[in-house]
Structure 1
Amino acid sequence: MPTERTEPENDAEKLLLEMARIGEIADVSDLTDNVIRGAFLRELATQSTKHGIHEQGVRVKGAYISGKIDFTACSLAQPFWIIESILEKVIRLRVARTRNLGFPGTEIPGLKGDGLRVDGSIFLSSAVFSDELRLLGATITGDLDCIGASFFSAAGFAINAERLVVERRILLLNIKQLEGGIDFMHSRAGDFGDHRSGWPNKGMLIIDGLVYDNLGPEENSAASRIKWLQLMPDTQNDEPVYFP
């Protein structure tokens, strides 16, 4: 099986390497060929010392990311950002360990992060997910920032985050569109900040065992929270089940 080439193959990849070495964002949006291989991104992120990557990490804007980005069981020593870009395939982060992750304004066909540990935050503001954001058993020491994001799932959960631990804040504010369920069963957060724009259809909210220190800042009236709880699956007595 041929080995994936690790040197830059076009101007976009050359610019990415150059900017990553000096701690700047590589904006390739104006290049005629803005394609960057997922394998090349993986090489720079996982072999940062070898390639002389700056402490600010690998950061790219306006790219089309071809092929897969598979960080399964990898350790990333620096932050990793893909900004206002398009990913061709699901990004895989199962049992990976990373610093800050950022995908603001990026089109993402799914993220698989079972057992992921982020020493920092995940920034998903204005991102568009065409399939599941999956963070089963993940740990985030900072924020999970989904402000202004869109989530779509043809079947099942749009956000599947059972037993997720977020030490600071989960931010589900000003969600632009949500199609699919949300599962935070047995999850923990410092602050759980949501808005009804991020509430799923009735029967599609799973929050049994969800624990948080603070709830808000919006939708904090008793009437609003009763409506929130009524989005959980009904029991035989037509009452939502919630075990905090």
Structure 2
Amino acid sequence: MSKEPHFGTRLEDFEPLWPAEKVLATWAWTGLIVVIGNDVPPDPAPRNRRIRASLIRYLALGGCAACRPGPKGVRVWGAYIDGDGPERAETRGLDLEGCAVKGDLLLGYCRIPEMMLLRRAKLRLLNLQGSHLGRAVPAEKAGTALSADGLDAAGGVFLRGAHATGEVRLLGAKLGGNLECDGGTITAGESGSALNATECTVTGTFFWRSGKVNGEVRPARAEGALVLSGAKVGHLIDDQASWPGKGDLRLDGFRYGAITGGPVSAEARLRWLDLQEPTKVGEDFWPQPYEQLAKVLREMGHRKDARKVLIRKEELQWADDKQRVGYRGWALWWRSAWDWLLRWTIAYGYRPLQALWPLAAIWFVGVLLYWTAWENGAFKPNNAFVLRSDEWVLCATTQPDIAKLSAEEFQERSRRWQGKGYAHQVDCFEDQAEARSYPEFQSALYSLDVLVPLVHLELQEYWLPDEATTLGAVARGFHWVQIIAGWALSLLAVAGFSGLVRND
């Protein structure tokens, strides 16, 4: 064996070969999977299951004429990959940093205790199905199990059923196929991140769901942060059982074309987004994950769910804005009032028809109040000529004060009343022949006329609450409230339909 076997350039540099290494060197050219064992070897592993990382590197880079791997690349199953790199190197494990690997690199159900270094490497496919990466140490002592920043894998990366103690890094990696992690478990290292795929590009599908491991279905687990910030994947397939814990999901800038597996309802996906805690990493609220989810749901045909997501985003963003800016006093009151108005009237512009409900409620209250005021004589004509006419003036009281009336007034009053015993002045007025052409009061139409600015039923022009009575004063005050609320809600509804509120 050479002094620096990790950089061996001839097969002779690795002599004497270990038993498993002889098998691999003998059969590598066939392109078949070289089976060293049927399961993940123990640690420590017997010598007949061990293969040096330096030999894997040598073969992956082409080997020799007699041991050159076939077109499918290096394919090993059930081996212990023994780290034998230089003591002062970044890793004593498999180091292919910046290398162009011939074909695939398949290390299935292997135990790889030392960090795999594949930064800026180029290969066709990386398959670590069922393998155990990193040493079995407490999480706080674990480092990085797989460092593959900038990896270029045309066929993708497969971590199905894999178990990594330490961070798996795929920052800026370009995967032409899928990133499959079904049933895998990744325990975070010192960085706090389990799978860090920041700015990673996956042309195919990102699988993060339950999978069968040793005959048992297990969820994919990230014991630490699942970081997908800035990543871009074709499709997303996951399940709720595999979602990380609260605060361990980072999706800012994460883009995906469709959700082709897992829940698609707004309620479920909002619980997914709620797993994010930007403050945990010292950042403000992230609106992009909500915008992205709404976009995907809308393109998938789930328009109602998309609106729910955007409404939730507005609620959280407004709350974050108030907390971040630190409003005080009247500014806080005004900001909160405006937020409340937009939320409960038109849902921030995403449900403009929702404004009909408060309009209907205000209309109904008006119907009851105006009807009560009318029945108690708390209305009067809304016309200066009518208010000065004999038909109205001579009906001013129900019990005429004879001592204060002239003979002519008494005779006229008596002629009009004729002992009918009117309860209110307005009853007397309506019963006069001269007033029968005056429009009849209808509380439902009157409330609608006051409330909706685009509706003109003319009842306001003829009748008005009489502020001389207590009930009339209340009705008059509500009359102004209705006018203001009608204009405000109508304008908000129009703004919602036109998109002006959402654009703001």
- Residue of structure 2 in register with 1:105 after alignment: 130
**Residue-by-residue CA offset, 1:135-168 (whole Å, 9 max, x unaligned):** 0000000000111111111441101010000001
State the SS of the aligned residue for 1:69.
coil
State the SS of the aligned residue for 1:225.
helix
More helix, by proportion: 2
- Residue of structure 1 in register with 2:151 after alignment: 116
Range with greater deviation from structure 2 (42-51 or 8-17): 42-51
Match of 2:197 among 158, 161, 185: 161
- Write the letter of the residue equivalent to 2:22: K
- Write the letter of the residue equivalent to 1:188: K
Report the alpha carbon displacement of residue 129 of structure 1 after superposing the two structures with TM: 0.8
Residue 23 of structure 2 is aligned to residue 15 of structure 1:
yes
- Residue of structure 1 in register with 2:163 after alignment: 128
Report the alpha carbon displacement of residue 48 of structure 1 after superposing the two structures with TM: 4.2
- Residue of structure 2 in register with 1:189 after alignment: 233
Work out whether residues 104 and 125 of structure 2, in 8 Å CA contact, stay in contact via their aligned partners in 1.
Answer: yes
Distance verdict in 2 for CA 1:198–1:22, change over 3 Å = same
Distance of 2:179 and 2:28 partners within structure 1: 24
Distance of 1:212 and 1:23 partners within structure 2: 35
Range with greater deviation from structure 2 (15-24 or 41-50): 41-50
Distance of 1:94 and 1:127 partners within structure 2: 20
Instruction: After TM superposition, list the pairs within 5 Å mapping 1:78-97 onto structure 2.
Output: 78-97=103-122
Work out whether residues 167 and 189 of structure 2, in 8 Å CA contact, stay in contact via their aligned partners in 1.
Answer: no
Report the alpha carbon displacement of residue 6 of structure 1 after superposing the two structures with TM: 3.4
Q: How many residues align?
A: 243
Instruction: After TM superposition, list the pairs within 5 Å mapping 1:37-116 onto structure 2.
Output: 37-48=52-63, 50=65, 51-67=67-83, 68-109=93-134, 110-116=145-151
Report the alpha carbon displacement of residue 201 of structure 1 after superposing the two structures with TM: 1.4
Residue 256 of structure 2 is aligned to residue 212 of structure 1:
yes
Distance of 1:8 and 1:104 partners within structure 2: 29
> Which structure's CA Rg is the greater one?
2
Distance of 1:42 and 1:171 partners within structure 2: 28
Report the alpha carbon displacement of residue 20 of structure 1 after superposing the two structures with TM: 1.0
Report the alpha carbon displacement of residue 59 of structure 1 after superposing the two structures with TM: 0.8
Distance verdict in 2 for CA 1:235–1:157, change over 3 Å = closer
- Write the letter of the residue equivalent to 2:98: A
Report the alpha carbon displacement of residue 176 of structure 1 after superposing the two structures with TM: 4.2
Residue 207 of structure 2 is aligned to residue 171 of structure 1:
yes
State the SS of the aligned residue for 1:203.
coil
Work out whether residues 34 and 62 of structure 1, in 8 Å CA contact, stay in contact via their aligned partners in 2.
Answer: yes
RMSD: 2.1
**Residue-by-residue CA offset, 1:21-56 (whole Å, 9 max, x unaligned):** 111111112786110001110000012465321111
- 5+ residue gaps in structure 1? none
Range with greater deviation from structure 2 (173-182 or 23-32): 23-32
**Residue-by-residue CA offset, 1:97-155 (whole Å, 9 max, x unaligned):** 11111111100121101111101121111110111110000000000011111111144
More strand, by proportion: 1
- Residue of structure 2 in register with 1:148 after alignment: 183
Work out whether residues 172 and 194 of structure 1, in 8 Å CA contact, stay in contact via their aligned partners in 2.
Answer: yes
Give the % identical residues.
30
Report the alpha carbon displacement of residue 2 of structure 1 after superposing the two structures with TM: 1.7
Distance verdict in 2 for CA 1:143–1:48, change over 3 Å = farther
Work out whether residues 78 and 98 of structure 1, in 8 Å CA contact, stay in contact via their aligned partners in 2.
Answer: yes
- Write the letter of the residue equivalent to 2:163: V
Range with greater deviation from structure 2 (180-189 or 209-218): 209-218
Distance of 2:21 and 2:149 partners within structure 1: 29
Give 4+ residue runs of structure 1 displaced > 3 Å after superposition: 5-8, 48-51
- Residue of structure 1 in register with 2:392 after alignment: none
**Residue-by-residue CA offset, 1:158-203 (whole Å, 9 max, x unaligned):** 0101000000110001134331011111110100111123221111
- Residue of structure 1 in register with 2:4 after alignment: 3
- 5+ residue gaps in structure 2? 6-12, 39-45, 84-92, 135-144, 211-218, 293-504
Distance verdict in 2 for CA 1:180–1:10, change over 3 Å = same
